Copies of this chain bind each other. A is one copy, B any other.
Amino acid sequence: MTSVQDRSAVVLLSGGLDSATVLAIAVAEGFQCHALSFRYGQRHLEELEAAKQVAKQLGTAGHRMVDLDMRAIGGSALTDDIDVPKDRDDVEMTTGIPVTYVPARNTIFLSYALGYAEVIECRDIFIGVNAVDYSGYPDCRPEFIQSFETTANLGTKMGVDGKSAIRIHAPLVNLTKAEIIRRGIELSVDYSLTRTCYDPDEKGSACGRCDACLLRLKGFEDNEMADPAPYQA
């Protein structure tokens, strides 16, 4: 087993805007960050290339890429051949659970992060979930994160060893997209490296029309900034 410093953390890093900001926050809080990304059958692998670039820009103690066989279970527009919805308005976006929801994805990601954290002997895990913009995703809510933390402390060797508890940090959970971007800019996140779009073209340029793009664009607009990431013409 690798031993790491006391202040180390596992950070879930997707290559998107939110997780990049979370990594910057964890670094700013003084954690040695071990980034973890997943190849889970997502349709666009440029997310993972973005994750590598982001890890490099912000500085990590390591970055692991894990293969997760999510297509074997299917059930989402992000992993199956289901159309990604476009041009939805605020009401449509915040009503119900979108088809881009991937069943139990954050539970699976956090479980993996937990296993990895245990192996490298660290008790802090960071995840970029957000309950404001993603109100339709049940696994982005604070009550889910809190419950997972309880489960983690009951279900692991380090959770029951009587030392300090495992903590799941979700520093973006109650922020708006505009607030997230503001925080990231303060921490020098290079958002041109991040990828958010659910349906990019072959070059990785964003569609500008899916829920994720619309939320992201509005977040920059609210900050009176242009999004530096590439969009389709």
Q: Which of A152-160, A179-187, A197-205 contacts the other chain?
A: A152-160
Interface residues of A in 24-59 (CB under 8 A from B): none
Can you report 19 residue pairs joining A to B where beta carbons are below 8 Å apart? A1-B75, A73-B112, A73-B115, A75-B115, A75-B119, A103-B116, A103-B118, A103-B119, A103-B156, A104-B156, A105-B115, A108-B115, A110-B111, A138-B156, A138-B160, A143-B154, A147-B150, A148-B151, A150-B150
Which one of B70, B74, B155 lies within 8 Å of A107 (CB-CB)?
Answer: B155
Residue of B nearest to A149 (CB): B151
Contact at B154–A144, with CB atoms within 8 Å? yes
Contact at B114–A103, with CB atoms within 8 Å? yes
- Which of A97, A150, A155, A157 is the most central at the interface, judged by chain B CB atoms within 10 Å of its CB? A155
Q: Contacts A108-B108, A138-B157; is A116 near B73 (CB within 8 Å)?
A: yes
Inter-chain CA distance A123–B73, complex, in Å, is: 15
Residue of B nearest to A142 (CB): B154
Asked whether A231 is an interface residue with its Cβ less than 8 Å from the other chain, the reply is no
Inter-chain CA distance A75–B105, complex, in Å, is: 23
Say how far A149's CB is from chain B's closest CB, in angstroms: 9
